[in-house]
Structure 1
């Protein structure tokens, strides 16, 4: 992404970024991502194409930014602040609550964009990587006998596979039932002094 998100954005930049991301979310509810063009996005936002290219390299870059916005809305950045034993369930619950509240939008997007589409691949890659990074930060310093990267990958894969099965593959499941699915795969006693023998 051309725009540096690490610096505080101006009000104008905030409005521009919001306009582009909101329009992308609207468009992918109505048509496949492959058929969306930068020209169409800019026309819908009433913003010149030159301005689009000041912020993004292409529509894929904008899509990645949309996933960042989504991750912020879910609250991904807050996860490492809670105890290790609860971080995985809390992460899953926040995602579950967000996607349940926006189920009609998710259904519209999936109606036009399959999991094997460019949009589906982009979503899976972004969020599986984000979960893995969050899990890695959470476990850092608490694991002795298993390579941390290996454990982070295992936990993040479990969380994402169950999430994907419920929301993206559309298998309606209560949060309580989802916890039952998670429990056998995750060692939820990570704060235990015996955890290093996991």
Structure 2
């Protein structure tokens, strides 16, 4: 991404980012990611191609921004301050909230983008990376005989597996089941 999202964004920059975010999410509900062109994105956002390329390298870069923007809309608790026995549940709930708050859009997007396709591969990568960062920040490094990075990867992959099963593969689970499945899969290495 060509803009530093950690810096304070001007209103104009935020407005432009929001327009491209909206264009991408609207188009994804109507067609596959592979079929969306930069020209269509620009037309839907109401900006010229030059503006698109001032902000993004390509469509994939915009897609990565969309994941970041969506994640920014969730309640992301400081897991280090959460009781260790609840950390997995809090992290899982945060990610599940994100998916549930966008369930209608998610279903429309699924209708045009298979779970094995580029779009969801990108989403998986983003969620796994985010889950890994979250878990790495709260793991007590002296509790395991394993490297903290390996434990964080295990947690992240397990969270993604359960979220994928429930939200992308269409198996309806309530929160209690989400937690139970996750804890069963993590048995033996939980924080």
Alignment TM-score, normalising by the size of structure 1: 0.89
Cα distance change, pair 18–91 in 1 and its aligned pair in 2 (3 A): same
Alpha-carbon separation, structure 1, partners of 2:77 and 2:61? 21
Aligned to 1:60: 60
Aligned to 1:155: 155
Alpha-carbon separation, structure 2, partners of 1:81 and 1:16? 35
Alpha-carbon separation, structure 1, partners of 2:102 and 2:7? 30
Asked if structure 2 preserves the Cα contact closer than 8 Å seen for 1:67 and 1:123, the reply is yes
Asked if structure 2 preserves the Cα contact closer than 8 Å seen for 1:39 and 1:49, the reply is yes
Residues 85-125 of structure 1: per-residue CA shift (max 9 Å, x gap): 22211111122233223222111011100122111111111
- 5+ residue gaps, structure 1: 191-198
Alpha-carbon separation, structure 1, partners of 2:110 and 2:184? 29
Cα RMSD (Å): 1.8
Alpha-carbon separation, structure 2, partners of 1:30 and 1:171? 23
Residues 125-181 of structure 1: per-residue CA shift (max 9 Å, x gap): 111111111111111545342211111111111111001000010101111112221
Alpha-carbon separation, structure 2, partners of 1:66 and 1:149? 26
Asked if structure 2 preserves the Cα contact closer than 8 Å seen for 1:80 and 1:134, the reply is no
Query: In the alignment, is residue 74 of structure 1 matched against residue 74 of structure 2?
Result: yes
The alpha carbon displacement at 1:66 in A equals 0.2
Alpha-carbon separation, structure 1, partners of 2:67 and 2:131? 13
The alpha carbon displacement at 1:25 in A equals 0.8
- 5+ residue gaps, structure 2: none
Alignment TM-score, normalising by the size of structure 2: 0.92
Aligned to 1:16: 16
The alpha carbon displacement at 1:64 in A equals 0.2
